[in-house]
Amino acid sequence: MGQRLRNTIYGREALTESVEDLIVGTTQLYEADGQIRYIPMPTPDPKDPLNLPQWRKWIAVVTLCFYGALATSSEAIIGALLPVFMLEYGGVDPKILGTSEDLTNLDTLIGGLDGPPKWQIALLSTAPMIVNGVASWVLIPLSIAVGRRPVILLCGALAWAGGIWAATSGGLKSHIAARCFQGIGAGTIDALIPLIIQDFMFIHERNKAVAAVNASTGLIIVGLGVGSPLIVTRMSWRWVYGITSIIGFVTWISIILCLPETRRVRTPDELAGKVVYPLRPGETRPRLDYSRHGYRTPWVEFGLFNAGTEWRRAATAVWLSLKTAVFPNVLWCVALNAALTGAFGAVQQVSSSVLISSGWRFEQLGLFVLPIVVASPLVWLFGGFLADRVSNAMARRSGGRREPEAHLVNLILPVLAGFAGPMVFGSSAQNVGASLPSWVVLIGVFIMSFASSTITTLISVYLVESYPNFAGPVLVTVSTFRLIFGFLLNFNVTTWIDNMGFFGAFSVYSGAILGVALLLPVIFFYGKRIRHWSAGRLERTENKTKKMFDEEGGSMEDIQLSGNSVSLYSVPFPRATNSGRIDLVKPKERRENMIKVGKAI
């Protein structure tokens, strides 16, 4: 018999019947008669987040939309206000921007100021990006340890508190520190929000939910973005932070009221959608058992730290985050996302200067956000609605079996847009006012916004579906490294433009995106083998002494993971016993290609 290991991902393992061998990430989405299956398989517990009614789930998604949109729109708005801060910290009142009709020589004026260098002021836009990425290494393991709800509430509080700090800051260094504080609060956008959504959404509807969060940026940015130049000239740039903090506080209250705790320990068979609990003929999910599990209570809906603590599992998640960084498909996702993040961040930094040099009045700069608003519904359409349709249709054509690589097909259009967008923006920025009208610059912004948000959505869903057993760690890896490398790609973009011109600098981004995108067919055709190597396979094992497991509080059968990468997991693990003793179980070399996941506490 193979070794029995403590499963540090799931906690308590139900020992269930596996009908067929499945590589981790592969699921049977449709029955032979075409009926859709619920994946993950919900439990009979009414407190299971998967058992929330649809209206309740979508209220939670809408709440996350506003939270994510506020954090994302703040980045775009602050990037557009960089000329304001260059004047402010150069000793010039930014309100002159509202009194001057001709600002075509603004760059010359800023260049002659005795203030901090441009790259240092640009840290107001770029520094939160790298802080956001690093924060994920703490926030996601913390959400695994104490639950999602306490962490997202903490981050929400940091976001609006950071806005108040920025509004009252007394200098550039304090201002940058406040923005970094906001970056910690925004550290949940890329990793924790998709993790929360996968907690309570089935895989056939996740695209729509994640895309809704990424597309909702337009709802907030249209008001704040258009109004921010007017706020600067009529009031002060500090009020931009003040207003966003007020809205952030209201959003924070809505999270308290509308987003319950969603973390729940699930077994590999549940994650694969297998029939873990008895089903009656014609049923696709177990009936709720109120007599055994009880009802949802106010403590379940609004409580904090009501999911228990799992510090050992959180520590393991940190190690898994490092380990997933060497998976080829994860590395590819990081590279593609980082290239898009760097390119779009650079666009946000320099767009306002380009538009001003083309003859725009400062108070018109708020229109810069309109392309992002227009792109938002298309992000939901192509990254959500159509993406779900395409991946589900491919599952039907494959006999009902769904492979995560189906999501890569949906990447083709946004990747092409991501390749074209930087060159369109660079060419128009270099020739604006001479041979091209300024609205062509906005086309480049639109293309980049659509590509960046759609690709982020699809990659998040692809990775969570590929590695359901360590979704948190893999999201941490992608979020962290894409933001770090994105920061390195755009923090000095103004110097690149001075040396190479707009078209030359942004062509570098297009080349990087194209180079990474050329590997998409490789990931599509070999992705399943990569998952087999990196995560193993679910297999059926013999039924082991049912009476013993019933007495210990277990279930019915063992679950076994196997694969060529089992060496990744072949380390001693502690095992808890009923006597309270902790045993160290060492792997057996003769079974090096097999992992047995048995009862774990």
Per residue in 123-143, pLDDT (tens digit) is: 888 888 888 878 888 889 999
pTM (2 d.p.): 0.78
Mean pLDDT of 196-202: 92
Residue 276 pLDDT: 84
Quickly state the pLDDT bin for 7 (edges 50, 70, 90).
very low
Name the CATH topology of 49-266+311-531. Growth Hormone; Chain: A; (1.20.1250)
pLDDT greater at residue 363 or residue 547: 363
Q: What's the token pair of residue 332?
A: 């590819």
The answer to whether 445 touches 368, Cβ cutoff 8 Å, is: yes
d(CA 413, CA 12): 42
CA dist., res. 220 & res. 240, Å (int): 13
Residue 560 half-sphere exposure toward CB, CA atoms < 13 A: 23
pLDDT tens-digit series, residues 43-74: 999 999 999 999 999 999 999 988 877 777 77
Whether 245 has a pLDDT exceeding 50, the answer reads yes
How far apart CA 112 and CA 102 sit, in angstroms, is 17
Burial class (CB in 10 A: 0-12, 13-18, 19+), 342: buried
Model confidence at 107, in pLDDT bands (50, 70, 90)? low
The dihedrals phi and psi of 564, each to the nearest 5 degrees, come to -70, -15
Give the model's pLDDT for residue 103: 63
Distance CA 556, CA 14 (A): 7
pLDDT band of 334, cuts 50, 70, 90: very high
170 pLDDT tier (thresholds 50, 70, 90):
confident
Confidence band for 102, pLDDT divided at 50, 70 and 90: low
pLDDT band at 489 (very low <50, low <70, confident <90, very high): confident
Query: With bands split at pLDDT 50, 70 and 90, how would you rate the model's confidence at 592?
Result: very low
Q: Report angle CA 573, 578, 580 to the nearest 5 degrees.
A: 70
Is pLDDT of 590 > 70?
no
Looking at residue 114, what is its pLDDT?
Answer: 75
Mean per-residue pLDDT of the chain: 80
Look up residue 80 and give its two tokens. Answer: 């557009």
DSSP 586: P
pLDDT digits (tens, 9 = 90+) for 501-536: 899 999 999 999 999 999 999 999 999 999 999 887
Q: Which of 569, 88, 555, 79 is nearest to 323 (CA)?
A: 569
Report the sign of the C-alpha dihedral through residues 441, 442, 445, 450, in that order: negative
pLDDT of residue 48: 93
pLDDT band at 553 (very low <50, low <70, confident <90, very high): very low
> Where is 204: in which H helix or E strand?
none
Domain ranges of the chain: 49-266+311-531
- Please provide the distance, in angstroms rounded to a whole number, between the alpha carbons at the two ends of the chain: 21
Average pLDDT of the segment spanning 162-177: 91
Task: Look at 330-334, 350-354, 431-435 and tell me which has the smallest mean pLDDT.
Answer: 431-435
- Contact assessment for residue 304 and residue 153, using Cβ atoms and an 8 Å cutoff: yes
Q: Which range, of 99-103, 292-296, 503-507, averages the lowest pLDDT?
A: 99-103
- Mean pLDDT on 136-161: 91
Q: What is the mean pLDDT of residues 245-268?
A: 91
Radius of gyration of the CA atoms of the chain, in A = 25
Is the model's pLDDT at 551 over the cut of 60? no
Residue type, 194: P
Predicted pLDDT at 10: 31
| Lowest mean per-residue pLDDT among 28-32, 400-404, 498-502 | 28-32
> Which of 150-154, 317-321, 591-595 is predicted with the least confidence, judged by mean pLDDT?
591-595
Q: How far is CA 279 from the centre of its chain?
A: 34
